């Protein structure tokens, strides 16, 4: 099927302006146009996002262009105008209720992966197609309604594009990853999975957690001195880490998935921006004509450059317009569109998994003054080259196997496990048997290594065990560690090599939910596992050790056909302190399935991020209310806890409140971070904007809780969301 440029290929009604050529009847034309628009039926599209944000502005520009061309023509020939119903996502429940009342045919947003994942059931209950720019790999896999569509390439494709460029084009293999927050887990996992496809493991991985500072990370990176650092996390923290790295003398290549964000570039001196590599779903310097026209229209409309979310929203409106023009339901049509050339590139659902609308990836590098310069474009696994401005020619990306370079670290010869679980094998390679595992934080004396130091040897259960060097921290003078000959491989290599890669099964964990587990109550974690290989997988086990309490849970599966995906559950009861947790969920725990070197390498790549928290007194875990001046609220069923005066939030009857700092989301806050002694009541309205407040209820119950301020008007209403614990 051929491609079509979106604004040209759509069946739109010719503008009435083309029918009038005599200036004297301009006024009459305006009146006629107004009457026709008033009579023209309307399709409404919801937008879940900031009315002045990129998502809304990209969608608004597309709607204006379509309506200016006469509207959209349905399959029966009826012409429709499009209208947007935009709702901010501060209170997503109310926003969705408002959009439902507007009788929308589809919804764009939300753009944030966490918001989409945490409110998936609400989005599904809209019962209309939901087109989101969120790129989390697990999002579409968790949708069971086939109503969810992704407007941008998923995280794993971004990771693959970046890995292809670093390894194939730049020849790099000594690559360190740095993760600055939990929200970046899927990005890091996607990138490390892509590295494994090349036979490369990160030479070392760093995580900024509660026990680590940015300065600690900088010191470790400079000491280790990798050739490349690939960073994931928020721009504000990323700019600090990058600046300190350069100030400390580190001179390697630096890649950051949000390097094109204005928050990052504005915080780094422009002379240090040159050469920073990034990966994105679209760059405003993309060469196709649809993209160039969009950039000019967007600048003309808003006086600023568009970002990838704006581009995806613009594409989303045109995809909906194309689907409206076909017979059948809108959802079915979206899932079966012919290829379209959009702003991001070719949008072709027929070649993608269900729910995916784009697989376009762009590699950029910041130039001398910080502007992103387009280096490469990919369509999924295909590298794009330009035959002309509008018709990119795709060539298959070569899969190159690379071996990490040997590395050295100072001090004493011992190792520290940095993964939640790391396999111990009988020899230096994935073809050797697994004889046990070590847990995160475990240490062991290193007694040997293979010749290139990619595997190290420890004393293990009365014998020797080998561990992959790329996913642990090694301390010591490597000159003290003897080189040891590896034991014979379990299966001798074939006498003759074959150029054709042998097909294997490949089991991967796609996602785990929910994002919050309750301590002291039986939990159920739903694990989505997929066989993305070419052969069927026989019986295998999935397992994880959940914290707090080191709760081990496993389940056996009879097998999976190629391309098959299924959900299983892991259960248990957590005991211990509350807080955010990252645990590895392992596919094919006992290596029962022959998955080949790539498949074996990604069995323990999935990191399940969740918050372990206490149970809540609040029904549903979260509630909201709006208080008029003079109103009180009873949060725990005893006496009133809070009074809103119109100017101050005041604790009542022995309750305590104070401002919580260091959190950007209510989901990050848990029971144990809430103080039982701090009291800052009253809190003035000038301090309440977007604030989080720690709470201990009245002296009768003394329950801990947290409040999010959703709106505070001096002399007016106070709107809050709150959670009170048992």
Q: What is the DSSP string of 150-167?
A: ESS--HHHHHHHHHHIII
- CATH architecture type of domain 414-480: Roll (2.30)
Over 70: is that where the pLDDT of 405 sits? no
- What token pair was written down for 227? 């050739």
Over 60: is that where the pLDDT of 673 sits? yes
Q: Which pLDDT band, with edges at 50, 70 and 90, does 390 fall under?
A: very low
- What token pair was written down for 338? 């012919």
Please give the C-alpha separations between residue 705 and each of 32, 618, 692, in angstroms, as whole numbers.
60, 9, 11
pLDDT, residue 13, reads 39
Mean pLDDT value of segment 719-723: 96
pLDDT, residue 386, reads 66
Q: Name the E strands within 603-655.
A: 607-613, 623-627, 631-633, 642-644, 648-651
| Topology classification of domain 507-613 | Immunoglobulin-like (2.60.40)
Contacts of 247 (CB under 8 A, 6+ apart): none
- Which range (125-139, 166-180, 444-458) has the least confidence? 444-458
Give percent of the chain above pLDDT 90: 50
Q: What whole-number distance in Å separates Cα of residue 264 and Cα of residue 310?
A: 19
DSSP 284: T
CATH 3.40.50.2300 matches 6-152+287-356? yes
Q: Which pLDDT band, with edges at 50, 70 and 90, does 351 fall under?
A: low
Q: Name the E strands within 486-599.
A: 507-513, 516-518, 522-531, 540-546, 551-557, 565-573, 579-587
Alpha carbon of residue 681 to chain centroid: 38
Mean pLDDT value of segment 330-352: 86
Burial class, 191, CB count within 10 angstroms (exposed 0-12 / middle 13-18 / buried 19+): buried
**Which part of the chain is CATH 3.40.50.2300?**
6-152+287-356, 155-280
- Which range (25-34, 355-364, 465-474, 640-649) has the least confidence? 25-34
pLDDT tens by residue, 275-305: 999 999 999 988 888 999 999 999 888 888 8
pLDDT, residue 15, reads 37
Taking 3-state DSSP, the helix, strand and coil percentages for the chain, each rounded to the nearest 5, stand at 25, 30, 40
Tokens 């230096």 locate to 428
pLDDT, residue 350, reads 61
- Which range (147-156, 335-344, 434-443, 484-493) has the least confidence? 484-493
Please write down the HEC assignment for all residues of 381-408: CEEEEECCCCCEEEEECCCCCCCCCCCC
Kindly report the backbone phi and psi dihedral angles of residue 295, in degrees, each rounded to the nearest multiple of 5, phi listed first: -60, -45
- What token pair was written down for 580? 């955010």
In what side-by-side order are the strands of the sheet with 277-280?
204-207, 175-179, 228-232, 253-256, 277-280, 360-366, 372-379, 382-386, 392-396
Over 60: is that where the pLDDT of 493 sits? no
Mean pLDDT value of segment 455-480: 80
Give percent of the chain above pLDDT 70: 87
* Cα angle 620-625-631, degrees, rounded to a multiple of 5: 140
- What token pair was written down for 52? 């002045």
Angle of helix 214-224 relative to helix 235-247, nearest 10 degrees, comes to 50
pLDDT, residue 20, reads 34
Burial class, 58, CB count within 10 angstroms (exposed 0-12 / middle 13-18 / buried 19+): buried
**Which part of the chain is CATH 2.60.40.10?**
507-613
- What token pair was written down for 230? 């690939």
Over 70: is that where the pLDDT of 604 sits? yes
- What token pair was written down for 639? 């006496």
pLDDT tens by residue, 195-251: 988 889 999 999 998 888 999 999 999 999 999 999 999 999 999 999 999 999 999
**Which part of the chain is CATH 2.30.30.40?**
414-480
Over 80: is that where the pLDDT of 412 sits? no
Over 50: is that where the pLDDT of 193 sits? yes
Over 50: is that where the pLDDT of 373 sits? yes
Over 80: is that where the pLDDT of 569 sits? yes
Q: What whole-number distance in Å separates Cα of residue 404 and Cα of residue 452?
A: 9
Nearest residue to 704 via CA among 694, 712, 696: 696
Q: Which pLDDT band, with edges at 50, 70 and 90, does 28 fall under?
A: very low
Residue 423 CB: number of other CB atoms within 10 A?
A: 23
pLDDT, residue 512, reads 92
pLDDT tens by residue, 418-432: 666 788 999 988 888
Q: What whole-number distance in Å separates Cα of residue 370 and Cα of residue 276?
A: 9
| Topology classification of domain 155-280 | Rossmann fold (3.40.50)
Over 90: is that where the pLDDT of 164 sits? yes
- What token pair was written down for 148? 């969810």
pLDDT, residue 414, reads 78
Q: What whole-number distance in Å separates Cα of residue 56 and Cα of residue 49?
A: 6
Coil/strand/helix, residue 97:
helix
Mean pLDDT value of segment 51-70: 93
Nearest residue to 486 via CA among 397, 426, 430: 426
- What token pair was written down for 392? 């990119």
Spatial contact of 143 and 348, defined as CB atoms under 8 Å apart: no
pLDDT, residue 51, reads 86
Q: What whole-number distance in Å separates Cα of residue 72 and Cα of residue 453?
A: 63
* Cα angle 558-559-561, degrees, rounded to a multiple of 5: 150
Q: Is the dihedral of CA 246, 251, 252, 253 positive or negative?
A: positive
pLDDT tens by residue, 573-585: 999 889 888 888 9
Kindly report the backbone phi and psi dihedral angles of residue 97, in degrees, each rounded to the nearest multiple of 5, phi listed first: -60, -40
When mean pLDDT is compared over 306-315, 388-397, 502-511, the highest value belongs to 306-315
pLDDT, residue 460, reads 86
- Which range (337-341, 604-608, 696-700) has the least confidence? 604-608
Tokens 């600690």 locate to 216
Q: Which pLDDT band, with edges at 50, 70 and 90, does 491 fall under?
A: low
Mean pLDDT value of segment 495-521: 81
Coil/strand/helix, residue 495:
coil
């Amino acid at each position: 099927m051929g491609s079509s440029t979106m604004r040209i290929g759509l069946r739109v009604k010719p503008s009435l302006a083309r029918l009038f050529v005599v200036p004297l009847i301009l006024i009459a034309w305006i009146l006629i146009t107004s009457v026709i628009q008033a009579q023209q039926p309307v399709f409404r599209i919801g937008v879940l996002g900031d009315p002045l944000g990129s998502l809304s502005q990209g969608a608004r520009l597309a709607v204006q262009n379509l309506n200016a061309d006469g509207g959209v023509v349905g399959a029966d020939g009826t012409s429709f105008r499009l209208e947007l119903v935009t709702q901010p996502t501060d209170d997503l429940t109310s926003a969705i209720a408002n959009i439902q009342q507007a009788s929308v045919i589809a919804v764009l947003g939300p753009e944030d992966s966490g918001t989409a994942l945490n409110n998936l059931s609400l989005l599904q209950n809209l019962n209309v197609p939901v087109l989101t720019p969120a790129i989390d790999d697990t999002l579409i896999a968790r949708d069971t309604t086939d109503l969810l569509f992704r407007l941008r390439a998923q995280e794993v494709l971004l990771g693959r594009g970046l890995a292809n460029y670093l390894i194939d084009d730049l020849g790099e293999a000594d690559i360190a990853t740095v993760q600055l927050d939990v929200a970046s887990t899927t990005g890091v996992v996607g990138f490390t999975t892509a590295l494994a496809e090349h036979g490369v493991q990160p030479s070392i991985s760093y995580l900024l957690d509660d026990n680590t500072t940015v300065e600690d990370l900088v010191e470790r990176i400079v000491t280790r001195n990798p050739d490349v650092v690939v960073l994931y996390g928020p721009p504000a923290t990323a700019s600090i880490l990058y600046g300190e790295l350069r100030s400390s003398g580190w001179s390697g290549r630096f890649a950051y998935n949000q390097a094109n964000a204005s928050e990052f570039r504005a915080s780094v001196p422009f002379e240090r921006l040159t050469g920073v590599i990034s990966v994105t779903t679209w760059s405003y310097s993309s060469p196709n004509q649809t993209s160039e026209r969009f950039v000019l229209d967007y600048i003309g409309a808003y006086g600023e450059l568009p970002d990838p979310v704006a581009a995806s929203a613009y594409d989303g409106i045109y995809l909906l317009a194309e689907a409206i023009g076909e017979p059948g339901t809108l959802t079915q049509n979206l899932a079966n569109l012919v290829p379209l050339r959009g702003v991001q590139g070719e949008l072709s659902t027929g070649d993608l998994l269900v729910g995916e609308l784009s697989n376009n990836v762009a590699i950029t590098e910041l130039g001398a003054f910080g502007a992103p310069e387009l280096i490469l474009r990919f369509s999924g696994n295909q590298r794009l080259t330009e035959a002309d401005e509008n018709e990119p020619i795709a060539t298959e990306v070569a899969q190159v196997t690379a071996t990490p370079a040997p590395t050295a670290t100072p001090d004493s010869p011992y190792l520290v496990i940095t993964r939640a679980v790391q396999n111990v094998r009988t020899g230096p390679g994935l073809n050797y048997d697994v004889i046990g595992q070590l847990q995160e934080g475990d240490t062991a004396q290193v007694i040997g290594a293979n010749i290139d130091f990619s595997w190290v040897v420890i004393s293990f259960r009365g014998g020797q065990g080998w561990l992959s060097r790329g996913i642990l921290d090694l301390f010591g003078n490597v000159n003290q560690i003897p080189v040891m000959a590896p034991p014979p491989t379990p299966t001798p290599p074939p006498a003759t090599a074959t150029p054709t890669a042998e097909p294997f099964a490949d089991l991967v964990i796609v996602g785990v939910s929910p994002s919050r587990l309750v301590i002291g109550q039986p939990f159920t974690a739903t694990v989505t596992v997929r066989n993305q290989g070419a052969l069927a997988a026989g019986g295998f086990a999935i397992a994880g050790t959940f914290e707090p309490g080191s709760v081990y849970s496993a389940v056996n599966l009879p097998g999976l056909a190629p391309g098959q995906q299924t959900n299983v559950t892991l259960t248990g009861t957590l005991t211990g302190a509350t807080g955010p947790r990252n645990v590895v969920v392992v596919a094919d725990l006992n290596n029962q399935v022959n998955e080949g070197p790539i498949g074996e390498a990604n069995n323990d790549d999935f990191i399940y991020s969740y918050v372990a928290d206490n149970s809540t007194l609040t029904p549903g875990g979260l509630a909201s209310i709006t208080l008029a001046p003079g109103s009180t609220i009873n949060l725990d069923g005893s006496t009133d806890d809070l009074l809103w005066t119109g100017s101050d939030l005041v604790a009542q009857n022995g309750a305590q409140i104070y401002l919580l700092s260091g959190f950007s989301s209510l989901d990050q806050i848990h029971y144990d971070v809430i103080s039982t002694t701090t009291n800052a009541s009253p809190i003035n309205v000038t301090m309440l904007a977007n604030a989080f407040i720690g709470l201990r209820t009245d002296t009768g119950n003394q329950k801990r809780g947290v409040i999010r301020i959703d709106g505070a008007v001096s002399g007016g209403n106070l709107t809050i969301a709150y959670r009170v614990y048992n």
